[in-house]
Amino acid sequence: MMKKTILSTLFISLSLLLITACGSNTKPDGGSLPASENGTSLSISCASYIENGDTEDGETTTIGLTNKAICVVHTVDGNGEPISGITYDIAAIVNVKALSTGNILSTEPITFTDSAIDFSIESVQPNDKLIIFPSSVASDPSYLGNWKVREVSGTTLTLDNIAYNLETTDSLDYVVGNETAYFPGFGSGSVHVEFPREQPVEDEEKGVFYFFLVYDTALMGERIFIGASTSGNRVGAAVTYTIPKEDDDTTPPDGNTTTPPDGNITTPPDGNTTTP
């Protein structure tokens, strides 16, 4: 019989999907400087999770795609040195309720506005996620990445996050929504975040943090919007990932792969997508 094993393949390229952002240094020697003054930056990259099988004679054969992607957040300080010990919040959006350009305001609490869209009419609700993406004119880490919506009032969203170094900024590319959407002929399809039971120590010391995106078959070929941010005085990063179809070629180029942690994964309690 064929013994199934799990091999996850992840594209790690410094020139691919590198998004500048900041993160809080929670190491004991991190000091008291605000995150943005520490010069911390995050990047996110995702790739298909491939299942292989070992034959009885020791040969390996590819079984195919799983309904899973492996993602990595890489965090470094202002000198390019890796940072470990950070707690992240991860969000994934497949049900897009609004996708446009808006403004973030450094009010108390923080708010986000788009004069062209009535978020209430678009059915945006508390606990939906806002993800802000970098552009050629706006890429400060204090507002990039995912935010949690606390309240919805017309063209304004009140956000449930703290960012002490945030400044009011306009012309921000954003998406608002959640992880579950309706697909004709299938019904509801969703994506959720899972984490390895343990992050490999040697990778964590390199500033690397892994997580998984698990999705329904209906989402194959669809684009997922992904945000990562730090806890506390949040700063973050964002990226999009298109789920490959079953007949897509997912073989990565030589020399551009890495082996992630083992297949033991856990779903955080109560849907809270922070580190276990």
Average pLDDT, the chain: 76
Is the confidence at residue 136, as pLDDT, over 50? yes
Three-class DSSP category at 87: coil
The torsion region of residue 56 among left (phi > 0), alpha (psi -120 to 50) and beta comes to: alpha
Residue 71 lies in a domain: yes
Quick one: average pLDDT of 17-46? 48
Domain boundary among 181, 199, 221: 181
Sheet holding 223-230, edge to edge: 88-93, 223-230, 236-242
Three-class DSSP category at 180: strand
pLDDT of residue 14: 26
pLDDT of residue 30: 32
128 band by pLDDT with thresholds 50, 70 and 90 = very high
Burial of 26 (0-12, 13-18, 19+ CB in 10 A): middle
> What is the extent of the structural domain holding 241?
3-89+188-245
127 band by pLDDT with thresholds 50, 70 and 90 = very high
pLDDT-wise least confident of 75-84, 131-140, 153-162, 173-182: 75-84
Clarify whether residues 211 and 225 are in a common domain: yes
Clarify whether residues 85 and 7 are in a common domain: yes
Three-class DSSP category at 193: strand
In tens, the pLDDT along 94-107 reads 999 999 999 999 99
Angle subtended at Cα 177 by Cα 24 and Cα 166, rounded to the nearest 5 degrees: 30
Clarify whether residues 78 and 14 are in a common domain: yes
Helix (H) or strand (E) holding 251: none
Is the confidence at residue 183, as pLDDT, over 70? yes
Are 175 and 98 a contacting pair, CB within 8 Å?
yes
Clarify whether residues 67 and 107 are in a common domain: no
Domain count along the chain? 2
Most confident segment among 25-39, 52-66, 241-255, 259-273: 241-255
